[in-house]
Amino acid sequence: MHPTVTINNLNHAFGKGNLRRTVLSDINLALYPGEIVLLTGPSGSGKTTLLTLMGALRSVQDGSLQILDQELRGAKKRRLVKLRNQIGFIFQSHNLLDCLTAAENVEMALKLHKLSQRERRSRSHAMLSAVGLGEHSHKHPDQLSGGQKQRVAIARALVAEPKIVLADEPTASLDSHSGRDVVNLIQQLAHQQHCTVLLVTHDNRILDIAERNLHIEDGKLCA
């Protein structure tokens, strides 16, 4: 099977001169369609840095990182933006817009897709129903619980059927029950859509969903 993400000899550092610090060293990795990969590691080990590099949210400094057959290193801004729009992101804090309803937040993810307003609306509603929020689509984030907000964020990440979903500690702010729901949903939808999911966590309550577990320490991946 052809990987959706291929990383070769990737290094990343922050800071300049004496303050320069390597945070990722010699990362090699391939992720395939339909797999859910957990990335665990202590705080500060480089998980978010790796995820933001894979998400084309940060420039690649050294090494090769290909997503969906496109090299990110040296890629022009326009290409990065285009790639970013093909990735579903789920962050620790849901990052929903408070001034929009749940449905409108989900529809945002379809903005760049050539769809009619009606089609956008119906897809958003279908996705909110899939995450169990069909009855809440008209509500604003401040009327929803933490777990519900995170489910809206999942709906938003998946509504455009991305080939890659990157989730950075999506359960960190949730109680164990909602955390488990959220992860089960990501898993179920990912399988339906046959996308690659990379899920960063140090929530050991959810480790059992991993089909593959990667561990990172001091910027190095350990098998």
- Contact residues for ligand ADP, defined by CB under 6 A: 14, 23, 41, 43-49
Q: Which is nearer to Mg ion, 46 or 88 (CB)?
A: 46
CA contacts within 13 A on the Cβ side of 207: 9
| Phi, psi torsion values for 147, nearest 5 degrees | -65, -40
Q: Could you write out the DSSP letters of every residue in 127-172? A: HHHHTT-GGGTTS-GGGS-HHHHHHHHHHHHHTT--SEEEEESTTT
Q: Residue 49 CB, nearest distance to Mg ion (Å)?
A: 8
Q: Which is nearer to Mg ion, 47 or 180 (CB)?
A: 47
Q: Which is nearer to Mg ion, 148 or 201 (CB)?
A: 201
Structure tokens at 9: 């000899």
117: partner contacted, choices Mg ion, ligand ADP, none (Cβ within 5-8 A by kind):
none
Residues engaged in binding Mg ion (CB under 5 A): 47-48
Q: Residue 24 CB, nearest distance to ligand ADP (Å)?
A: 8
Cα separations in angstroms, 96 against 25, 43, 132: 33, 25, 17
Q: Which is nearer to ligand ADP, 44 or 134 (CB)?
A: 44
Q: Residue 43 CB, nearest distance to ligand ADP (Å)?
A: 4
